[in-house]
A and B are shown apart, each in its own frame.
Chain A
Amino acid sequence: MTRLIEAHGFTNRVLGWDAWLDIVPLANATPEQIAVLEESHPKAKESDYYLFLVHQPEILRQRSAAFNAIMYAPGGLPRAERELASTVVSRVNGCVYCASVHAQRFEQLAKRDDVIEQVFNDPVTAGISEREKAIVQFSIDLTLEPGVVEPRQLRVLREAGLSDDEILDLIHSIAIFAWANRLMLNLGEPTGL
């Protein structure tokens, strides 16, 4: 059903992830830690990623609240376009694990994978419509050059048809993957490659 796409070390295959330092064994978790795991993700109790981050439960609680509000809230930027931005940011930052997860989510939501193949091959030229190209370009620029964000860059998004509410959702989706990539890339590594 799903077509395998692999390029430059990126893949849309399902991967695992292992932490490089000691996780909190579930049997030792406090009631607060258990509650935060349950708020964070349906499979957090089986995941090295969450069992490592739960060493700091209040920080994880707020991170998960931000992440889930950005990626799953109804209305605004279509969820597939949020996943596209996440995949582009992950591709640019070199986060193979995040790129795999969010490429799969894009494909599930959009029922196509053409732009994922383009993003894996060369993000700079990716996008099958003007709107998609504008989303991809802003995702690259805000990721690589956060110190020089100009109103004209947002005007390009408006001209491609995004409302201000959609632009806000796009800014959030790009920024939250600056956060997510740095946890997945720097605290452990993907397995199953």
Chain B
Amino acid sequence: MTATYDPTTDIVDRVAGLIPGSSAYVTRHRRDKVAVATQLSYEALFDPHLADLTLTERLLVALHACTLSNAPALGAHYSAQLAAAGVNIELIDQVSQGAIGLIGDPRLLAILTFTGTLIEKPVDGGEAALKRLPAAGLTTPAVVALAQLIAFLSYQIRLQAGLRALQALNVPESA
């Protein structure tokens, strides 16, 4: 695997509104190993070739996580990705409103229910919650990909929120 990092496509910089050359951008990129590993994690988790968990399922997990975490800018990114993938607009709207109870597909419902538990109250996600995933047809590698995805989103949501505040702290109010 020879993943490469292109700073012009960095998703956290874009969603947090970090302008190249700004104080917050320069501060973040002094820890470039972290920026690179964050971007390459994102790319690995949304790799179209990842088996066992479809890209649509992964993008819906991301949108649901952003909705529950009050992260609208990041949520808009994942909504746009879903629309670009040709996913039904009604389904995107349902998930962006948190209305996952209306989802009829039991596999997708199990995935989004697990997402809600881990995002909102991870201490409630015990052995029984995990084992509902294989019962809904997920393989063990799919369970690992899903758990890593939800956990990564919890990280990405806090990182972009913190960086947006750091950017605002360094921009004079009069600007």
Contacts and interface: CB of A to CB of B under 8 A. Distances in A.
Interface string B105-147: 0000000000001100011011101110010000011011101
Nearest to A143: B158
Interface in A36-65: 52-53, 55-56, 58-63, 65
Nearest to B157: A146
B129 A186 contact: yes
A59 B148 contact: yes
Interface range on chain B (Cβ under 8 Å from partner): 35 or more
Contacts of B154: 175, 178-179, 182
Given A56-B145, A149-B161, A153-B165, A172 B34 contact: yes
B99 interface: no
A101 interface: no
Contact of B155 (A94, A169, A176): A176
Interface of B: 1, 3, 23-24, 27-28, 30-31, 33-34, 36-38, 40-41, 44-45, 47, 50, 69-71, 117-118, 122-123, 125-127, 129-131, 134, 140-141, 143-145, 147-148, 150-152, 154-159, 161-166, 168-170
Interface of A: 20-22, 32, 52-53, 55-56, 58-63, 65-66, 69-70, 73, 76, 93-95, 142-143, 146-151, 153-155, 158, 164-165, 167-169, 171-172, 174-176, 178-183, 185-187, 189
